[in-house]
């Protein structure tokens, strides 16, 4: 079964584009994107086991850390940089977002919403750190170190001066729902959310929707 | 071993390939080598499409006997855990080529060979060679074997340097490239250790300024010491500790300078057995080639530029956590350059306490990673589904 946020990413990514999946795990999403959207995909993954699994799927994945290794990619190497359920585990989320939009025309970012009502309920009534479907591990073993709410993320995008091209919310196992992230109710309702961001003003390339699919990296061309 | 003179495609178990007459190998130093010979071995057969050839590049003191039985030592080839039936590189599906480098001493032209101009062994009159010279020779051999593109070129340590050189100089002949525990240039520490080895050889009175071939004895003591020093760099402290600790050879100390500790006797054995199979001058020339290797310097100081023509090549880079000779940082440096060049690179650091030698030893994660990588490369090349 395909994860709901993966379905949404599959829908958003243009066929034949160049994609970097940051924190790609065992390469499930990259594999899907390669097969269904014929993307030229690369991955960055922190765990050796994850990279090994990606290698046997035939994916080009480098073992590395989003906090440090994005710096080594040249500007605008990719059409999309994907950060799926990883932002909250980075040390420098602001820097990582900035880097994603430097190396790619668009960033696709999903994360658990700490403003979801179950989280608020758990803290308010039980006084305990939440353990929900989107946040399944106890506080002492979670890799998440920079949790935020939908509203927090929105404030950061404003601060960074980036444009929101799309936003979707997920709750439970339901499919993605297009939302207006500025509505306060969504910060209660979304268990996790997904944003597609681009730099303001939009990159010139993205204006021409009919452009032929990008081939392999053309860093030295420009 | 059969000696072959040919220019066209052949399939054989190997032999010695001679450069065509009047076609010298032009060296980076400006010198030329006439009548060059390259010793090589092959396993498996080239398929009809010519898409299944795998070239394996050996490390400093390695040779062409990557699999099968070594004719001198009688031991199995140096990478039988990677090359063989059911292994990631398999003669049942690959046409496997491994050659002895120029400057070597296992059948290729090197300082111990006879200089046709003088009728005497070259010794120190042999021109200084580089990694690029080695690769230039290999490329001509590969072409002579009827191979236009290599499914993969694979190498660890100095072999990994050759793989990088292939990617820089002959990217159009490569489909994929595997670099294991290597570096794009030597650190000062790497050069320092090599210098200790070279000085040990040159300090041996039997070395005779490199002209020992005419005499009765060879600089065995110097070469053994060079090997002992180098061998320490191939291991890791935990591996040495686990293997030997401070265990003694016999009851009590000798109160002298015999090999009291097991680690001493181990190193002496490593040194002594090495002199039976390796030539001291070859050791000087090949270590020099490694020290001179600096792929970035040859490309305007930017390593990524070296790989600019290789964006279509699929790369796999592997390093080991306890390798302090070519540590992960050096391998990651290569990966970052590949990334910057827009190449398709996969990289993983393998957990191991066996030091640099891990790439030759039982490392199931390395086997699985290479099997996975080559499997996907084969699928992409249309060799399997």
Residues A81-119 pLDDT 10s: 999 999 999 999 999 999 999 999 999 999 999 999 999
Overall residue count recorded for chain B in this entry: 385
Tell me whether residues A62 and B339 touch, CB distance under 8 A.
yes
CA distance A176 to A178: 7
> Would you say A44 and A69 are in contact if contact means Cβ atoms under 8 Å apart?
yes
Cβ neighbors of A56 (< 8 A, separation 6 or more) are B368, B369, B371, B372, B373, B375, B376
Q: Which two tokens stand for residue B261?
A: 């500790």
Q: Cα dihedral angle (B71, B75, B78, B79), rounded to 10 degrees?
A: 110
Tell me whether residues B341 and A219 touch, CB distance under 8 A.
yes
**Interfacial residues of A (vs B; Cβ cutoff 8 Å):** 42, 48, 51-52, 54-64, 69, 72-74, 77, 216-220
Chain B residue with minimum CA distance to A215: B312
SS3 content of chain B, % helix, strand, coil (to 5): 40, 15, 45
CA distance A114 to A192: 8
Q: Above pLDDT 90, what percent of chain B?
A: 89
Tell me whether residues B345 and A62 touch, CB distance under 8 A.
yes
How many CA atoms lie within 13 Å of A216's alpha carbon, on the beta-carbon side?
Answer: 15
CA distance A97 to A161: 11
What residues form DSSP beta bridges with B315? B177, B345
Picking from A61, A74, A216, the nearest residue to B346 by CB comes out as A61
Cis peptide, bond prior to residue A201, ω within 30 of zero: yes
Q: Which residues of A touch B369 (CB under 8 A)?
A: 52, 55-56
Is the minimum CB–CB distance between B239 and chain A shorter than 8 Å? Answer: no
Nearest Cα neighbor of B101 from B138, B72, B69, B148 is B138
Query: What is chain B's mean pLDDT, rounded?
Result: 94
> Nearest C-alpha of chain A: how many angstroms from B180?
14
The pLDDT confidence band at residue B370, using thresholds 50, 70 and 90, is very high
Query: What is chain A's mean pLDDT, rounded?
Result: 89
Rg (chain A; Cα; Å):
17
Nearest Cα neighbor of B277 from B110, B109, B72, B102 is B72
Q: Coil, strand, or helix at residue A194?
A: strand
> Would you say B182 and B161 are in contact if contact means Cβ atoms under 8 Å apart?
yes
Average pLDDT over residues B294-302: 97
What does the DSSP 8-state code read for residue B123? G
Nearest Cα neighbor of B314 from B349, B350, B347 is B347
| Inter-chain contacts counted by CB atoms under 8 A, chains A and B | 80
Identify the residue among B343, B348, B373 best suited for mutation to test binding to A, counting A beta carbons within 10 A and taking the highest.
B348
With 0.95 as the threshold, say if the pTM is over it: no
Picking from A54, A58, A72, the nearest residue to B380 by CB comes out as A58
Cβ neighbors of A105 (< 8 A, separation 6 or more) are A76, A78, A79, A80, A198, A199, A203, A205, A206
Average pLDDT over residues A4-11: 93
Q: Is the pLDDT of residue A30 over 90?
A: yes
Is the minimum CB–CB distance between B49 and chain A shorter than 8 Å? Answer: no
What residues form DSSP beta bridges with B179? B155, B317
Is the minimum CB–CB distance between B373 and chain A shorter than 8 Å? Answer: yes
> Nearest C-alpha of chain B: how many angstroms from A130?
34
- Distance between the two ends of chain B, CA-based, in angstroms? 37
Q: Which ranges of B87-187 would DSSP assign to H, the alpha helix?
A: 131-144, 158-169
* Poorest-pLDDT segment among A13-22, A194-203, B47-56, B148-157: A194-203
Average pLDDT over residues B104-116: 96
Q: Is the pLDDT of residue A212 over 50?
A: no
Q: Which two tokens stand for residue A127?
A: 């006084």
Please report the pLDDT score of residue B74 as a whole number.
87
Please report the pLDDT score of residue A214 as a whole number.
43
Nearest Cα neighbor of A171 from A183, A153, A187 is A187
For residue A41, CA distances in Å to A59, A199, A208, B7 come to: 7, 21, 22, 41
Q: Which residues of A touch B367 (CB under 8 A)?
A: none
Q: Between residues 336 and 365 of chain B, which touch chain A (CB distance below 8 Å)?
A: 336, 339-351, 365
Residues A155-184 pLDDT 10s: 999 999 999 999 999 987 778 999 999 999
The pLDDT confidence band at residue A213, using thresholds 50, 70 and 90, is very low
> Would you say B122 and B115 are in contact if contact means Cβ atoms under 8 Å apart?
yes
Tell me whether residues B365 and A58 touch, CB distance under 8 A.
no
Q: Which residues of A touch B349 (CB under 8 A)?
A: 48, 63
Tell me whether residues B340 and A219 touch, CB distance under 8 A.
yes
Write down the number of H helices and E strands in chain B: 10, 13
Is the minimum CB–CB distance between B314 and chain A shorter than 8 Å? Answer: yes
> Would you say B248 and B265 are in contact if contact means Cβ atoms under 8 Å apart?
no
Q: Coil, strand, or helix at residue B319?
A: strand
Rg (chain B; Cα; Å):
21
Beta strands in chain B (DSSP E): 3-4, 14-18, 25-26, 32-33, 37-43, 53-57, 95-99, 114-115, 120-121, 152-156, 176-180, 314-320, 344-350
Please report the pLDDT score of residue A216 as a whole number.
42
Picking from B316, B342, B369, the nearest residue to A219 by CB comes out as B342
The pLDDT confidence band at residue B4, using thresholds 50, 70 and 90, is very low
More confident residue, B3 or A22: A22
CA distance A12 to A178: 12
Q: Is the pLDDT of residue A44 over 50?
A: yes
Chain A residue with minimum CA distance to B380: A58
Q: Coil, strand, or helix at residue B280?
A: helix
Residues B206-230 pLDDT 10s: 999 999 998 899 999 999 999 999 9
H or E element, residue A198: strand A192-199
Please report the pLDDT score of residue B41 as a whole number.
96
Residue reference for tokens 């994603």: A100
Identify the residue among A55, A70, A76 best suited for mutation to test binding to B, counting B beta carbons within 10 A and taking the highest.
A55
**Would strands A40-45 and A60-63 be described as parallel, antiparallel, or unpaired?**
parallel
Q: Coil, strand, or helix at residue B220?
A: helix
User: Which active-site residues of B does the annotation give?
Assistant: 157, 323, 356
Q: Which two tokens stand for residue A204?
A: 């010139």
Average pLDDT over residues B75-104: 95
- Distance between the two ends of chain A, CA-based, in angstroms? 39
> Nearest C-alpha of chain A: how many angstroms from B332?
9
Q: Which residues of B touch A64 (CB under 8 A)?
A: 332, 347
Cβ neighbors of A14 (< 8 A, separation 6 or more) are A37, A79, A213
Tell me whether residues B371 and A56 touch, CB distance under 8 A.
yes
Tell me whether residues A55 and B349 touch, CB distance under 8 A.
no
State the angle between helix axes of A4-12 and A28-37 in degrees (0 to 180), rounded to the nearest 10: 40
Q: Which residues of B touch A60 (CB under 8 A)?
A: 314-315, 344-346
Q: Cα dihedral angle (A134, A136, A140, A143), rounded to 10 degrees?
A: -50
Nearest Cα neighbor of B100 from B145, B138, B59, B63 is B63
* Poorest-pLDDT segment among A128-132, A145-149, A157-161: A128-132
Nearest Cα neighbor of B166 from B137, B199, B191 is B137
Picking from A52, A59, A77, the nearest residue to B368 by CB comes out as A52
The pLDDT confidence band at residue A132, using thresholds 50, 70 and 90, is confident
Picking from B332, B342, B345, the nearest residue to A218 by CB comes out as B342
CA distance B177 to B150: 9
Q: Which ranges of B276-306 would DSSP assign to H, the alpha helix?
A: 280-292, 303-306
Tell me whether residues B346 and A219 touch, CB distance under 8 A.
no
Tell me whether residues A217 and B343 touch, CB distance under 8 A.
yes
Q: Is the pLDDT of residue B255 over 80?
A: yes
> Nearest C-alpha of chain A: how many angstroms from B342?
5
């Amino acid at each position: 079964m395909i994860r709901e946020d993966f379905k949404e990413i599959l829908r958003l990514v243009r066929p034949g584009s160049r994609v970097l999946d940051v924190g790609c795990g065992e390469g499930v999403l990259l594999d899907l994107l390669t097969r269904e959207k014929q993307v030229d995909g690369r991955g960055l993954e922190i765990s050796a086991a994850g990279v090994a699994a990606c290698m046997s799927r035939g994916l080009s994945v480098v073992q590395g850390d989003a906090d440090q290794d994005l710096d080594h990619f040249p500007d605008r190497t990719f059409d999309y940089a994907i950060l799926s359920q990883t932002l909250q585990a980075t040390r420098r989320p602001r820097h990582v977002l900035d880097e994603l939009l430097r190396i790619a025309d668009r960033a696709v970012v999903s994360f658990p919403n700490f403003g979801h009502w179950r989280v608020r309920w758990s803290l308010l009534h039980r006084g305990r750190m939440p353990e929900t479907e989107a946040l399944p591990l106890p506080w002492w073993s979670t890799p998440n170190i920079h949790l935020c709410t939908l509203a927090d993320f929105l404030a950061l995008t404003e601060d960074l001066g980036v444009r929101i091209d799309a936003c979707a919310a997920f709750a439970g196992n339901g499919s993605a729902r297009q939302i207006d992230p500025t509505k306060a109710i969504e910060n209660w309702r979304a268990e996790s959310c997904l944003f597609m961001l681009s730099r303001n003003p939009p990159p010139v390339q993205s204006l021409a929707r009919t452009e032929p699919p990008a081939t392999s990296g053309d860093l030295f061309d420009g | 071993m059969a000696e072959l003179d040919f220019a066209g495609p052949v399939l054989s178990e190997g032999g010695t390939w001679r450069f065509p007459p009047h076609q010298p190998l032009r060296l980076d130093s400006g010198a030329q080598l006439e009548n060059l010979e390259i010793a090589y071995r092959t396993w498996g057969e080239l398929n009809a499409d010519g898409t299944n050839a795998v070239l394996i590049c050996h490390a400093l003191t390695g040779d062409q006997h990557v699999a099968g039985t070594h004719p001198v030592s009688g031991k199995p080839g140096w990478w039988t855990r990677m090359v063989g039936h059911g292994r990631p590189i398999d003669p049942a599906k690959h046409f496997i080529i491994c050659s002895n480098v120029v400057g070597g001493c296992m059948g290729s032209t090197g300082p111990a060979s006879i200089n046709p101009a003088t009728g005497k062994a070259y010794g120190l009159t042999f021109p200084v060679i580089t990694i690029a010279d080695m690769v230039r020779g290999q490329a001509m051999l590969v072409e002579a074997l009827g191979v236009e593109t290599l499914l993969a070129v694979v190498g660890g340590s100095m072999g990994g340097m050759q793989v990088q050189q292939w990617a820089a100089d002959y990217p159009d002949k490569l489909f994929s490239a595997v670099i294991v525990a290597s570096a794009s240039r030597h650190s000062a520490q790497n050069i320092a250790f090599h210098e200790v080895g070279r000085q040990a050889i040159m300090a041996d009175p039997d070395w005779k300024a490199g002209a020992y071939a005419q005499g009765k004895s060879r600089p065995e003591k110097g070469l053994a010491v060079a090997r002992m020093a180098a061998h320490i760099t191939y291991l890791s402290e935990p591996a040495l500790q686990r293997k030997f600790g401070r265990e003694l050879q016999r009851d009590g100390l000798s109160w002298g300078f015999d090999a009291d500790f097991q680690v001493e006797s181990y190193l002496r054995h490593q040194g002594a057995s090495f002199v039976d199979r390796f030539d001291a001058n070859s050791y000087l020339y090949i270590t020099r080639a490694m020290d001179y290797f600096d792929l970035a310097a040859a490309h305007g100081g930017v390593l990524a530029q070296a790989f600019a023509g290789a964006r279509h090549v699929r790369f796999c880079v592997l390093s080991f956590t306890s390798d302090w000779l070519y540590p992960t940082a050096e391998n990651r440096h290569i990966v970052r350059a590949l990334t910057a060049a827009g190449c398709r690179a996969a990289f993983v650091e393998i957990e191991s306490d066996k030091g640099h030698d891990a790439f030759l030893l039982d490392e199931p994660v390395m086997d699985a990673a290479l099997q996975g990588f080559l499997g996907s490369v084969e699928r992409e090349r249309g060799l399997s589904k």
